[in-house]
Structure 1
Amino acid sequence: MTTVAGVIVFKAKPGLGEEVARRVAAALPAVETERGTLLWLVLRSNADADRIFLVDLFDGEQSLTNHMNGDAASLIFATVPGLLAEDPEMHPSTVVAAKTTR
């Protein structure tokens, strides 16, 4: 099982959650070219519309490093920070349990 994951939490300025989600999601074409990124989700909280979660799963540490230094991350960090109420929370993570479909 792949165990390398990441979660980034973006807290948008009040009322800008939809725009932050749109800008983060705009990186999808770049992510689609990354061989080692197995899962990439952009989620907008139903409990707080100004909180956006980016969840990803990688086939190894090198793929995580490549992703964080790649076009998707560059696009996000070039277009999103001015809309945020605080710095993004980065949570490098280890998968403990998972259910997948294939």
Structure 2
Amino acid sequence: METVAGVIPFKAKVGQGETVARLIAAALPHVENEPGTPLWLVLRSNTDPDMIFLVDLFSGTAGRDAHMTGEAAKLIFATVPPYLEAAPEIHPADVIASKGR
């Protein structure tokens, strides 16, 4: 099975990191219904609390494509942008090495 990933850094406006993290995390119920998304992480930086990372693993490009047009993505991109310094940049990626998947 091919495993691919997605990484999206979100730079929140000053003091809005907690809000951005909470809004992104609110999409978890939608992600739980996606069979092509076995791993989905929302990370908040310890060195910059206004930097949030969304990291996903997918069971192939079809899973990634479905996720990026699914309900979780719609919710995130409908609620998070007002709290950001700039639009997030989506980084589709290939998994080169991993442990625990």
Give your verdict on TM over 0.5: yes
Q: 1:83 is aligned with what amino acid? A: Y
Q: Partner of 2:30: helix, strand, or coil?
A: helix
State how far apart, in whole Å, the 2-side matches of 1:10 and 1:69 are.
18
TM-score (norm: length of structure 2): 0.96
% same residue: 64
How far the C-alpha of 1:2 sits from its partner, in A, is: 3.9
Query: What corresponds to 2:3 in structure 1?
Result: 3
TM-score (norm: length of structure 1): 0.95
Asked if 1:21 corresponds to 2:21, the answer is yes
Once structures 1 and 2 are overlaid, which stretch shifts more, 49-58 or 85-94? 85-94
Query: What corresponds to 1:47 in structure 2?
Result: 47
Q: 1:27 is aligned with what amino acid? A: A
CA-to-aligned-CA distance 1:10-66 (integer Å, 9 cap, x gap): 000000000000000000000000010010000000010000000000001111010
- Where do 5+ consecutive residues of structure 2 fail to align? none
State how far apart, in whole Å, the 1-side matches of 2:7 and 2:64 are.
12
- Where do 5+ consecutive residues of structure 1 fail to align? none
Query: What corresponds to 1:98 in structure 2?
Result: 98
Query: What corresponds to 1:78 in structure 2?
Result: 78
CA contact (8 A) 1:3 1:96 kept: no
How far the C-alpha of 1:90 sits from its partner, in A, is: 1.0
State how far apart, in whole Å, the 2-side matches of 1:63 and 1:94 are.
13
User: Structure 1 stretches (4+) deviating beyond 6 angstroms?
Assistant: none
